[in-house]
Structure 1
Amino acid sequence: MTQRPPDLIVVPAVMQQRLRLLGFDTQSMLRRAGLPADLFASGKARITTRQMFAVWDALAAMNPDPALGLRIGAEGATEHYDIASIAALHSPNFGEALQRLSRFKRLTCPEVIRIERGDGEVRVRFHWFLAEGHSPPLLTDGTFASVLELARRGTGTRVVPRRVELVRAHTSAQAAMLGAHFGCAPRFGAAADVIVFDEALLAQPFVTHNQDLLAVLLPGLEAALAAQAPATSLVDQARAVLGRTLRGERPSIQAVAAELCVSTRTLQRRLEEAGTSYQRLLDEVRHQAARQLLEDTQLEAGEIAFVLGFEELNSFTRAFRGWEGTTPARWRMAQAVPERP
């Protein structure tokens, strides 16, 4: 199984400068977050996901302005962009911008940008997979505002999302503020924080496209990714993604490919070259997970079937019989029988 990247986030000097321009006393902010006041003294600080969330909570506590996250995400000058955002802004279109943002974001933090297409829309979700719980609302506002600003600056038009789905509870003030900024009424109480665009926007050309700049930037970024990446195969990485996304639905190959930042066709080809297929890999992960859940938990077979993404218990029972030659219930009972000395 692929190794997770270290829980380490680089806070670039431009971000620190941005906070100072907004009038923050960064030393007071760091102390409030439970961090050393001189953390930013070296210019390039490194903190964990928990500490990052604490910083954003401290920002919210120090400045009660409900629009602060939107200001941080949308009002920054391009010279204050991080390297991933610079590569995204100068991409040919919004779709490639999102892909580059997703790919190179991994150089600075343990965050995955999930891009899901379907039903004429594209759903963009920022997932901090080493986090305990959801990201702070202020951070979510800033992140969504920065993505929208990327689309607006890149296309040169006032892009309006289809909708914004938020985990937080509804408040009238938040609804009015966010609705005014995004141009659509936010939906509160969602299962995850998601910003949704028209799928057609992905092909919208960027007026900021600069191929010469990309030719300079991309080789260095790709080299940095290669140096950072663990020595594991794409098959192992796909297996790891499947293992952590089996949560009540069957993960699609398109979703797995998107998380690995490769095309669906590339993933299929690489799996074939390794002598396997997406379905076979999914079966392996389901088989291993089924054995673990039957042996280590008290979940009923029907509940396990749901967790593993089977549509019904009979489908799970047939699959398990193919794996083990018996039913889930009988297999569980056999594991409970003590071995003879």
Structure 2
Amino acid sequence: MLIQHHTIAAHYVGVALHGAVRQGRDPAPLLAQAGLDDGLPARIPPLQYAELVKAVWRALDDEFLGLTSRPCPVGAFALMAELVIHTATLGEALAKCSRFYRVANDSLALGVTVENGQAFLWMQLQDPTRDPDHFLLEFMLVMWSRLAGWLIRERIHLQAAQFMHEAPAHVREYPTLFPCALQFGQARNALVFDAGWLHRPVKRSAAELQALLPTLPGAFLVKPVFHGSYTQRVRELIAEDMAAGFPDLEAVAQHFWMTGRTLRRKLLQEGSHYQEIKDGLRRERAVQLLARGELSLQEIALQLGFAEASAFIRAFKLWTGLTPGQYAAVPAPA
């Protein structure tokens, strides 16, 4: 069962319809197919949103939602996945994915570049002006990163998400889509992770893929909650009192009757790191507190276990690409 613990801002409804409306389509029937014809809530469950995306796919016969110069027929992603399921490693799978889109549709290019031990899963639109809200860019990066993790049965630890554009008006949604350091105004659009992941074996079968395909894109839009995993158990343990600071890994490991080395290995097997868990908790809590607008930066810093506001400001800019003041000034997506 898919567990939904986040929602999608209504902002993404309008941008998903942008290409269809530009082609003269009436958005009302598309909204109705997703059960959104009785008024638009502020936030939408991801599986309901996936129905809207599929409605646009079907109406345009275009998996790129009318946001590129050439359509990408419905079924292309499935065909690509059927090709990569037979590869030996994640690196081979992503390389074959890149070759597929290079041949099938030159409106969008993607690939993997390795530099200094880091892998860059990059994407470039032939005509970015057709995707003014960066929706297709965000959507496809999420889809490909989730496919990569699904293929190897692990959650890939992202080190950074890089974007050529500056922080958009809906930047508040980015930490949910890309739970890592956000970097804007970069030379390329890319998800950055340790190159070692490329050597992980593909563990999924063709039968598993056939079961997955009918659930897309919903299955990849839902962020799984890892109940029972050590990642989730560590999160719950250290989230109880962030203001008191975080215990070191050895102290946390003692709660599970194991050594720090063993816990570190178990977290790595789940695609996680102790520092990542701490940063994720702090980032999520910081976003909540800034949205409320009730506390000063110093008060927020203390609640998150920082000794002073300056340390919190530096960390927050690393997480989101913005200072807390810049982030707070961005209106929440409507």
Instruction: Please state which band the TM-score falls in when normalised by the shorter chain.
Output: 0.3 to 0.5
TM-score (norm 1): 0.39
Mark the structure with the bigger radius of gyration.
1
Query: Comparing both chains, which one has the higher relative contact order based on Cα–Cα distances under 8 Å and sequence gaps of 6 or more?
Result: 2
TM-score after normalising by structure 2: 0.40
